[in-house]
A and B are shown apart, each in its own frame.
Chain A
Amino acid sequence: MTPPAPAPSSAYDYRMPQRHRLSSLGRWAFLASTIVGIVVLSALLFNIIDQAFGLVAIEARIDPASLAVEGVRLEDLSQDQLTAILQAHVSKGLLRRLENDQPLAERSRVEIYQLVLDRVVEPTIVETWSLTDSLLHRREIEARAAVDRPAAALSFRAWVNPAFVGASQSSNPLLAGIRGAILGSLWIIGLTILLALPIGIGAAVYLEEYAADTWLNRIIQTNINNLAGVPSIIYGILGLAIFVRALEPLTSGSVLGQVPDPTSANGRTILAAGLTLGLLVLPLVIINAQEAIRAVPASLRQAAYGLGSTKWQMVWHHVLPNAIAGILTGTILAVSRAMGETAPLVVVGASTFITSDPTGIFSKFTALPIQIYQWTARPQDEFRNLAAAAILVLLVLLLSLNAAAILLRNRYGRQGRLL
């Protein structure tokens, strides 16, 4: 007599349909989280573009059309005519100050034209609108502007434009530009690479090819991993205390007989900033370079030794040429991190307002992210627009750096020889 079967099938597919429904629900939940990431990225980009273009209402102290001489428009006038306009419209005191800064006769036509715009026409922004508002509600904006601001001219403005990239800093948002900031960023990045690349590769070669498994080398490796996780602002504090304060004679250039810029804040120079960022990206460069070196097959090393080469000959002629593409890719990524770093530069002492271009490593500095930070921190809308435009420029620079890294990786691969 057989006992009644305990219906094995029911035990196996117990609540199976519900569980499968739950499972597919889970799938959609996970996918939804991923889509949230995409949505946020889109919102971020949309928000920036929305602010970087749009309608502006501009009021000028003197209508530029009234400054035209014999039908020639203001922007086409000769240098002498522009100088005459400037002399006719600004106060004697201001004129004397301008002459003291640099005699008008020695300035270029473009500079004089900028002065005329800045001091005579004095266009000021009275209101700005975002891109979406400008496109969707243009009629209402025009109607309201006509009532509220009869003197203002309404025009569509791309905040990011060639003049913006080429002009230096100004307190008038219409004339402000980021040339000084871009140049500052490039100088700092140049120094960062100069410091981080050779030392980073050196350290990686040491750790991968030379270092025996001793306690000292283990400490070095652990320490590098830990340094990569130190917040960037701590590097800023380090830079402030060491490069700006303790090594001031070096970083201000006075030890080399450089006459320090009297207006500059002593050690708060491009050199100090570059050294600080160099230390900041060094652990990243080392870790990336180590990975690239580790990917070089051991057979290459053995073959080199087999032919009687010394250790350094093996490294220089075989390991490095095979790893260099990977090393450079990692370095570019580390450098693009440095390019967007803001906090350490603020702490090291970026200048808040600087109209001159950097002339060397002992100049005081500003940088693209610093400029973005300062503009964003101001309450007026038009500075937010400027910040958005500067962000676009920064993102384009970063994208091209990353594209270069990807090209390098695709072209030479992990095993590819670059040299």
Chain B
Amino acid sequence: MQTALQSDPAGSVIFAGPPTARSLGLKRRRRWGESLIQGFLFFSGALSILTTLGIVVVLVRESLSFFGSPEVSLGEFLTGTTWQPHIGEFGIWPLAASTLITTGIAMLVAVPLGLSVAIYLSEYATERARSLLKPVLEVLAGVPTVVYGYFALTFMTPLLRSIFGRDVVEIYNMASGGIVMGVLILPLISSISEDALSAVPRSLREASYAVGATRLETAVRVVVPAAISGISAALILGLSRGIGETMIVALAVGAGPAFTFNPFKGAETMTGHIVRISGGDLSYGSIDYDSIFAIGVTLFLLTLTLNIISQAVVRRFRKAYE
């Protein structure tokens, strides 16, 4: 008690409180090691900002040099329907249309299948069935895209050609690439949707059963609408994944820009074009080199917008049931 009790000049004893950091000789000092480590950790986090800045600066700078060249105009790029670099025609639409068509076909395959899988896993499957089926989906999600490209070219294309006829279906065609891309997106959509469906409170299902709804009615009219924001986020992510998908389309969809809406014809997508151009002999500063950055900007903006929308949707969905 001697440290706590002190005599004041008047001689009376006062209570000075419990021992403080100062009275114990512990003063707050700067720990350089800690600061150094914290600096490194902050740098690690900030590196992601640098990466984004790098992407934006690189894409914008090189595309500016692309649009600055006399052969190109922004208006032509956004509206033109011919992409023929060697005659100076740079219209994005042949590439963009092919990207949209393959992605559209992929969504036609992946959305119904992916949602059905999600509903089955979340509403119907027993624990045993889930433990068997989920690894299959995980394997599907883990197969490298170049392997899917091989699958599209050596399995799906011959299959389509034997069904619709060799005259109708070209060797390189958008349908084959699109269908296989749908298989690639399926696990993405099903796993995010399943998370959303499982997050719907049990009480909603029980209420639905209590008023006499069947299992299907409960799943389709109660659970799915309740999870709709999570499901839409999954669909948007799937769309963005399809637009950015490269190796399937590079291998199976074709190696020449063509403005066509026939899914059985070959056409080059934006990503396919970037891969083909950069896989060849590419000299810096050439119009071909600059053009991949202009396509890259388009691709980046498209996927970024979709990702941001899907995150905004997810945030709303989290608020709904927490």
Contact = CB atoms under 8 A, between A and B. Distances in A.
A287 to B, nearest CB: 11
A230 B237 CA distance: 11
Interface stretch (A95-103, A142-150, A195-203): A195-203
Contacts of B251: 373, 376-377
A236 B277 CA distance: 13
Interface centre among A30, A226, A240 (most CB of B within 10 A): A30
B48 A391 contact: no
B279 A48 contact: no
A199 to B, nearest CB: 5
Given A238-B54, A343-B247, A205 B117 contact: no
Interface in A310-338: 310-312, 336-337
A31 B240 CA distance: 27
B116 A29 contact: yes
Contact of A346 (B143, B275, B303): B275
Contacts of B151: 43-44, 47-48
A238 B59 CA distance: 8
B198 to A, nearest CB: 15
A311 B300 contact: no
A50 to B, nearest CB: 9
B68 interface: no
Nearest to B179: A40
Given A26-B219, A310-B31, A394 B144 contact: yes
A231 B299 contact: yes
A30 B303 contact: no
A390 to B, nearest CB: 10
Nearest to A375: B150
Contact of B124 (A31, A232, A384): A31
B5 interface: no
Interface residues of A, number: 91
A12 interface: yes
A283 B50 CA distance: 13
Interface of A: 12-13, 16, 19-20, 22-23, 25-27, 29-34, 36-38, 40-41, 43-44, 47-48, 51, 198-203, 205-207, 210-211, 217, 219-220, 222-227, 229-238, 240-242, 245, 279, 282-283, 286, 310-312, 336-337, 339-343, 346-347, 349, 352, 369, 372-373, 376-377, 384, 387-388, 391, 394-395, 398, 402
Nearest to B247: A342
Contacts of B100: none
B28 to A, nearest CB: 12
Interface in B272-322: 274-275, 278-279, 282, 284, 292-293, 296, 299-300, 303-304, 307-308, 311
Contacts of A200: 44
A391 B38 contact: no
Given A33-B120, A373-B247, 5 more contacts: A26-B220, A27-B120, A200-B44, A224-B48, A230-B307
Contacts of A225: 307, 311
Given A38-B136, A233-B246, A311-B34, A391 B147 contact: yes
A286 B136 contact: no
Contact of A384 (B31, B154, B241, B271): B154
B278 A240 contact: yes
B43 to A, nearest CB: 8
A37 B124 contact: no
B117 to A, nearest CB: 5
Interface string B167-207: 00000000000000001001100000000000000000000
A342 B145 CA distance: 8
Interface string B136-177: 110110111111111101110000000000000000000000
B9 interface: no
5 contacts: A37-B183, A203-B48, A220-B45, A229-B304, A343-B145
A242 B150 contact: no
Interface stretch (B12-20, B73-81, B82-90, B210-218): B210-218
Nearest to B113: A33
B49 A231 contact: no
A248 to B, nearest CB: 10
A34 B121 contact: yes
Contact of B49 (A198, A223, A240): A223
Interface centre among B147, B214, B246, B308 (most CB of A within 10 A): B147
Given A231-B243, A231-B299, A23 B217 contact: yes
A199 B44 contact: yes
Contact of B40 (A202, A234, A241, A346): A202
B150 A372 contact: yes
A34 B117 contact: yes
B303 A241 contact: no
Interface string B257-283: 000000000000001001100110010
Given A27-B216, A394-B144, A388 B116 contact: no
A355 to B, nearest CB: 19
B58 interface: yes
A339 to B, nearest CB: 8
B245 A231 contact: yes
A210 B275 contact: no
A230 B216 contact: no
Contacts of B96: none
Contacts of B219: 26
B299 A234 contact: yes
Interface in B72-115: 112-113
A36 B114 CA distance: 10
B25 interface: no
B230 interface: no
Nearest to B158: A47
A231 B103 CA distance: 14
Contacts of A231: 240-241, 243-246, 271, 299-300, 303
A219 B49 contact: yes
A312 B34 contact: yes
Interface centre among A25, A343, A394 (most CB of B within 10 A): A343
A342 to B, nearest CB: 4
A84 to B, nearest CB: 41
B104 to A, nearest CB: 17
Contact of A203 (B45, B147, B247): B45
A192 to B, nearest CB: 14
Interface pairs A-B: 3 shortest CB-CB? A231-B244, A340-B144, A202-B44
